Amino acid sequence: MKSITSYQSDDIKVLRDNDRHDFATLPPFFLLQSYFEPETNDQTTTTQEFNLISASPAFGRLDWVAGVFYLDTEVDIAITERLDFGFDGTFDPFTVEDILTFAPADAGFISNAKPERESLSVYGQGTLTLSDTTRLIGGLRYTQDEVYSEVTNFYGRGGTDILEIDSNEVTGRLAFEKDFDDVTLGYASYTRGFKPGGSNLTFGREAVVSPIVVLPTFEQETIDAYEVGLKTDLDDGRVRLNAAAFMYSYENLQYQATDPEVFQGGVGNIPESDIYGAELELGAFLSDSVLFDVRLAWLSTEITESHLALDNVASEAATNALLAQGVSLFSPEVEVARAAQISDVRGNVLPKTPRLTANIALTHTTAIEGWGDVKSSLSFTYRGDFKHRVFNNPTTDSVPSYQTLDVLVKLTPDDADWRVELIGKNITDEAGINARFTDVFGVGATGDQFIQPRQFMVRAGFDF
């Protein structure tokens, strides 16, 4: 029997410059400036787990584990955003009365929220040996998850919302493994998993001027995962091959959503989506001193059921166009213009799922008399293009592919306690984009995170 107890208390303060540009170097009206006062986030989390693990196989054939897990989390969040509606580089002060009466003010999203989550799970898993070459693995988990949240936005302009949602789900895994011989394993598995639902800080409140897109709470997300695979060694261990194919079916996939009402957004659910994929790993000794490695992954994804969603990039563009004409931010005209950007995401690909990724490497090892062992490698990496959000916006969401080339030479002298490496990373100086982020709660700005530029390094190691 094992007991694991944890307690964590975090006092977090975050400074955010959401527009990601400098007013002094870019022209007026280039982008609405957004700045968050130090956002405070106080979190307290307690967890407790007990589990029992079989000391010896039950009935001589069944290895098992069973347990219970408990989590309690309490959060206190305070957020105040300032927006430079005057486009003069200054965030003018405002009062609580300005916010309560919808008066013109350099203010954005303001919130005070206290979400709480309590979760209890009971689980068990066993591996049953059917024969010397076959095994059946099965497990079940029951989870009860409860969320309670008190949300006060814009200093209580709309009152305090009490939001509650429960999630109760049975998940599990079933797998079959077979040893075809001493070096070959085949398997097939089915797994069901889930991510609990929760509450939003902001959401649509009226359906007269525009339809509601973001609800007060969002549903739990579930996945049914199917996988078959083979792991084997060939040519007396000189070749190793691992291959797998899989299919993931999601229900209520959670994503960042935006509502036509200004400053209203949160997490939404896409009803159904699928991922199909395959992976291949191959390692082969081309000679006693040359190793060839290949790792390939292929993905095909699609949102398969109709879902109306609002791209906040498009909604912010529509909002700013009317603000430039002097239309009030909270006017029905702005809400109608934002709602006009709602579109069906059915048929779009899922975010951050490149169709192809690959890594190919050659490694050569040799001994030089009087010097020691020398290891050199050449590695090629390819990351395919992908869409970074479910909206598949051609302007902001298309992240291009990139490819890099790395080299390494390592010298380990004979009878020495030191070694040295010469390393070259991204030697072609590819300007690849590793990740992209579009802000949901600010002004819709999009920022890129690039891969490391060309780097040459010397690394030394000592044994003592």
| pLDDT tens digit sequence for 386-419 | 999 999 999 999 999 999 999 999 999 988 889 9
The per-residue pLDDT of the chain, averaged, comes to 93
pLDDT of residue 29: 58
Both tokens assigned to 133: 């070459």
Tens-place pLDDT, residues 124-172? 999 999 999 999 999 999 999 999 999 999 898 888 999 999 999 999 9
Q: Measured between alpha carbons, how far is 233 from 325 in angstroms, rounded to an integer?
A: 69
Q: Is the pLDDT of residue 256 over 70?
A: yes
Q: Name residue 266's amino acid.
A: G
Let me know: does 393 contact 313? Beta carbons within 8 Å: yes
What is the pLDDT, as a whole number, of residue 95?
Answer: 93
For the chain, the farthest-separated pair of C-alpha atoms sits apart, in whole angstroms, at 84
- Residue 30: pLDDT band with limits 50, 70, 90: low
Beta pairing partners, 36: 16, 81
pLDDT digits (tens, 9 = 90+) for 352-392: 999 999 999 999 999 988 889 999 999 999 999 999 999 99
Which amino acid is present at 86? G
Please say if the pLDDT value at position 68 is more than 90: yes
Digit-coded pLDDT (tens) for 264-320: 989 999 999 999 999 999 999 999 999 999 999 999 999 999 999 999 999 989 998
Please state at what angle helix 312-323 crosses helix 332-339, rounded to 10 degrees.
Answer: 150
Of 16-30, 70-84, 246-260, 424-438, where does mean pLDDT reach its minimum?
16-30
| Top-confidence residue, 290 or 438 | 290
Residue 175 pLDDT = 98
Residue at 25: amino acid letter: T
Tell me: the pLDDT tens digits for 166-207? 999 999 999 999 999 999 999 999 999 999 999 998 899 889
Q: What is the mean pLDDT of residues 432-447?
A: 84
Type of residue at 162: I
